[in-house]
Amino acid sequence: MKFLTTFLKDLKLSFRTFYIYIEIALAVIFILVMLFVLPENFTTEHDIYTLIELEEPAYSSVRTLFDEGAEADRLIYLDSREAIENALLEDREAAGIHVFRSAEGRITYDFVLQGYESPKLVELLKQTFIGDLTTYMPDYEDQVSITTLGGAREKLSDRLTVLPVFLVLNSAFTGLFIVAAYIFMDKDEGTIKALTVTPAKISDYLLAKLGMMLVMGMLTSLLVTLAIARGSAHYGPLMIFMAAANLFGTAIGLLLTSFYDDLMKAMSSIFVVVFVLAFSTISYFMPSFSPLIIRMIPTYPMLVSIRELLYQQPNLTYVYATAGGLLAGAALIFMLALYRFKKTLTV
Amino acid sequence: MLRKILRIAGRDVRSGLRDNIIVYVILAPFLSALILRGLIPSVGANVLQMAVDPSVEPAVVEYLETIGKVEVLEANGEALERRVRATDDVFGLRQAGEGSFEIVKEGNEQEGMDEIFELVLDAYVNQDLELPMDALVSDIGWKLPPLKQFGASVLVVFMSVFGGMVILINLVEEKQDNTLSAMNVAPVSRKAFVIGKGLLGVVIPVIHAFGVLLILGFEGLNYGMVTVAIFSIALISVLIGFVIGVMNDNVISAASSMKVLFVPILASIMGAIFLADKWHPLLYWSPFYWAFDSMNRIVLLEATWGVVLRNTGIVLAITAVVFALLSRRIARGLN
């Protein structure tokens, strides 16, 4: 009952301080940008500047091969090697192909790169080309099969790929910073010290804060997902997961707050935590770079789990296991925060 | 007046040092730059990651190690499937028979990588075939990876707005403690107070920019251009910090407003990096876009004073418009 009273009081305060309106406004801005400003797929593949310096009929054969290839749309034909190199200077993520006849008379494919590519990437490129070439040879042996464990997966649009990042960094961790602001405001007003002389328990007070952040997190995540993913998301598991993630994020905020007397002091630690948590987005967007240390950051499995729930056939076992881990983590961190608050709260 | 400005700035430094926030604000960008410098060689080093079970011959493993990262498992059977199902993008490989292979994938890996893996294995299996063409790889000698290029610019622009945020929180707390209104009866002019409060927010980002670029090992940069570019963006960040700080009466609204502020900053920077050029006009309203553009050109050694001054002029023009629209509100909030 006391928890409910405190929770409703905090909810009313959010309306008075416009916090709820700001959170909803932020969600609406995100929706508007994603739906009306950015196209559904907004990342671009860079051009491949191409030069074929061969005589007929070799030129036509190679040109036909390129025009019928998967990357035909990306090829831009130029008339000199110098033009290729100048084009690469203008676009630092582009590459070139220069096909010519070597001094020994052999047709040579020269892949012109920038220079920052790793040795393994360079070798991968070369072996991929050689492998592709072998498939056209009469004595080619097809000795490689591919088995898919989970069934074929559809490709998510860029819009849906970005959605988990907003849900994690905004909706799940909405409490991390704001709960600190709430508690310090209560400290300044003397509300929190009143707990030592009232029947209300500190646990009720902290749980009310968790509840407050949970309401905000669920509201914004539901709003944004409905607008952007529409029927593509699995809403039941998603809401369960977001609840677990939000409780985890707010519990961290409570624990950090317990170590400080005011927001300015707490801000530094909060920023460090946010910075570390945001790091996992690098591996999320670049799956080829996902060292264990980054995969251990809690936000990484959060991002992967939410993305799972946007596929037609999600791996629910993984999602629920992650949610369970987050809930367990939230409970443990909350107990630590409660211990700290009880210890530091004196009349 | 100069002495009063420096005294106000000095008070904020002392108060910040007591809270450690100044220490964090000063050190954080340098630590971030050190972390980024450590990460850069690893990112992009291994595009293809593979896990192979013991059935795969050592010669194949040796070949695969020239094109990606290989993890050799200790057990056959289910262990490979378990490894592939882990959250990272790893392809499994087992030997299906003499000279034949089975690639095992989960189905959610980066598009096209399974075909690439298949082709490199085709190259290995058919290595005795006489090919009618040769392949070679050359480059134009550009050694700056995109992560270092964009990472430096993102870090420098992002850290420039930190000062504004510290001012925001500081102002709200002073409002709550009533020390802000006490300034109205103190022998300090409104102008001196505002400049003193904002001074650190403008000076520190320039120091940060120099430090970050030096730590990341950039050479031959025009630090004069860096100073001009960062000064302008720090100025608008300080202004925004002031506006939000004086317009909010409590820390909760101020903290929420700060969150809202992150949106245009991140959107501008991410848009500048990931959007095709034809979409960039959508970002022209944002001073952070122009600051990022300046920094990006500077690290690419392509910046000219004309472009840097143009971009800085746009940032200052936006700053002037924002200030003109909100100056009365700022003055009311400081009462």
Residues of A numbered 193-212 whose beta carbons fall under 8 angstroms of chain B's beta carbons: which are they? none
pLDDT score of B320 more than 70: yes
Provide the whole-model pTM.
0.78
pLDDT at A346: 55
Residues β-bridged to residue B102: A145, B94
What is the dihedral sign for C-alpha B124, B128, B132, B135? positive
Listed in sequence order, the DSSP H helices in chain A are: 2-16, 19-32, 58-67, 81-90, 119-134, 158-166, 174-189, 191-194, 202-228, 235-257, 263-278, 280-285, 292-295, 299-308, 316-344
Cβ distance of A22 and B149 shorter than 8 Å:
no
A252-261 residue pLDDT tens: 999 988 888 7
CB proximity A304 to B under 8 Å: yes
pLDDT at B319: 84
Cβ distance of A42 and B87 shorter than 8 Å:
no
Residue B66 to residue A124: CA distance in whole angstroms: 8
Question: Which of A26, A134, A152 faces B259 most closely, judged by CB atoms?
Answer: A26
- Helix axes of B190-215 and B162-176: crossing angle, nearest 10 degrees: 150
Q: Are residues A180 and A322 in the same domain?
A: yes
A218-252 residue pLDDT tens: 999 999 999 999 988 999 999 999 999 999 999 99
Q: Are residues A295 and A198 in the same domain?
A: yes
CB of A244 closer than 8 Å to CB of A266: no
Cβ distance of B110 and A38 shorter than 8 Å:
no
Higher pLDDT, B66 or A151: B66
CB of B93 closer than 8 Å to CB of B101: yes
| Least confident interval from A38-52, A313-327, B129-143, B165-179 | B165-179
Residue B167 banded pLDDT, cuts 50, 70, 90: confident
CB proximity A170 to B under 8 Å: yes
**Chain A nearest C-alpha distance from B252 (Å):** 5
Residues β-bridged to residue A146: B103
Query: What residues contact residue B327 under an 8 Å CB cut-off, 6+ apart?
Result: none
Mean pLDDT of A301-317: 92
Residue A347 banded pLDDT, cuts 50, 70, 90: very low
Question: Which of B28, B48, B257 faces A124 most closely, judged by CB atoms?
Answer: B48
Residue A62 to residue A11: CA distance in whole angstroms: 68
Cβ distance of B88 and A295 shorter than 8 Å:
yes
Residue of A nearest to B138 (CA): A112
Is residue A112 domain-resident?
yes
Q: Are residues A229 and A305 in the same domain?
A: yes
Cβ distance of A121 and B274 shorter than 8 Å:
no
The number of angstroms, rounded, from the C-alpha of B96 to the middle of its chain's C-alpha atoms is 45
Is residue A145 domain-resident?
no
Order the strands of the B49-52 sheet from edge to edge.
A144-148, B100-105, B91-97, B49-52, B69-72
Q: Are residues A52 and A33 in the same domain?
A: no
Q: Are residues A169 and A310 in the same domain?
A: yes
Q: Specify the residue for token string 């630092």.
A: A92
CB of A177 closer than 8 Å to CB of A257: no
Averaged pLDDT score across all residues of chain B = 81
**What is the widest separation between alpha-carbon atoms in chain A?**
95
Q: Are residues A28 and A72 in the same domain?
A: no
- Helix axes of B223-247 and B146-160: crossing angle, nearest 10 degrees: 40
Q: Specify the residue for token string 């960008």.
A: B29
A192-202 residue pLDDT tens: 666 666 666 78
Cβ distance of A106 and B43 shorter than 8 Å:
no
Q: Are residues A116 and A227 in the same domain?
A: no
Helix (H, G, I), strand (E, B) or coil at B161: coil
Residue B321 banded pLDDT, cuts 50, 70, 90: confident
Q: Are residues A201 and A312 in the same domain?
A: yes
pLDDT score of B198 more than 70: no
Chain B partners within 8 Å of A177 (Cβ): 255, 258-259
Mean pLDDT of A61-84: 88
B25-71 residue pLDDT tens: 677 778 888 888 887 777 767 789 999 999 999 999 999 999 999 99
Question: Which of A112, A113, A185 faces B252 most closely, judged by CB atoms?
Answer: A185
Mean pLDDT of A14-39: 80
Instruction: Tell me the residue type at B16.
Output: G
The number of distinct structural domains making up chain A is 2
Chain A partners within 8 Å of B13 (Cβ): none
Is residue A231 domain-resident?
yes
Is residue A274 domain-resident?
yes
Q: Which long-range contacts (CB under 8 A, 24 or more apart) does B296-301 make?
A: B296/B149, B296/B150, B296/B153, B296/B272, B298/B221, B298/B222, B298/B225, B298/B226, B298/B229, B299/B144, B299/B149, B299/B152, B299/B153, B299/B213, B299/B218, B299/B221, B300/A92, B300/B144, B300/B149, B301/B220, B301/B221
CB of B195 closer than 8 Å to CB of B4: no
CB proximity A113 to B under 8 Å: yes
pLDDT at B20: 59
| Least confident interval from A300-304, B150-154, B189-193 | B189-193
Question: Which of A121, A124, A140 faces B126 most closely, judged by CB atoms?
Answer: A140
CB of B47 closer than 8 Å to CB of A287: no
For chain A, give the percent of residues with pLDDT over 70: 92
Mean pLDDT of A113-134: 91
CB proximity A17 to B under 8 Å: yes
Query: Which strand (E) or helix (H) includes residue A109?
Result: strand A107-113
Is residue A140 domain-resident?
no
Query: What residues contact residue A17 under an 8 Å CB cut-off, 6+ apart?
Result: B250, B252, B253, B256
CB of B126 closer than 8 Å to CB of B152: no
pLDDT score of B5 more than 70: no
Q: Are residues A275 and A190 in the same domain?
A: yes
Q: Are residues A7 and A61 in the same domain?
A: no
Residue of B nearest to A139 (CA): B129
Query: Which strand (E) or helix (H) includes residue B261?
Result: helix B251-274
Question: Which of B121, B144, B166 faces A116 most closely, judged by CB atoms?
Answer: B144
CB of B136 closer than 8 Å to CB of A110: yes
Query: What is the interface size between A and B, counted as CB pairs within 8 Å?
Result: 291
Picking from B146, B144, B154, the residue whose alpha carbon sits closest to that of residue B32 is B154
Residues of A numbered 43-72 whose beta carbons fall under 8 angstroms of chain B's beta carbons: which are they? 43-44
Is residue A232 domain-resident?
yes
Q: Are residues A178 and A319 in the same domain?
A: yes
Is residue A139 domain-resident?
no
pLDDT at B108: 77
Averaged pLDDT score across all residues of chain A = 86
Residue B234 to residue B201: CA distance in whole angstroms: 7
Is residue A260 domain-resident?
yes
Cβ distance of A264 and B21 shorter than 8 Å:
yes
CB proximity A261 to B under 8 Å: no
- Domain containing residue A260: 2-39+157-344
pLDDT score of B263 more than 50: yes
Tokens of B102: 């089975």
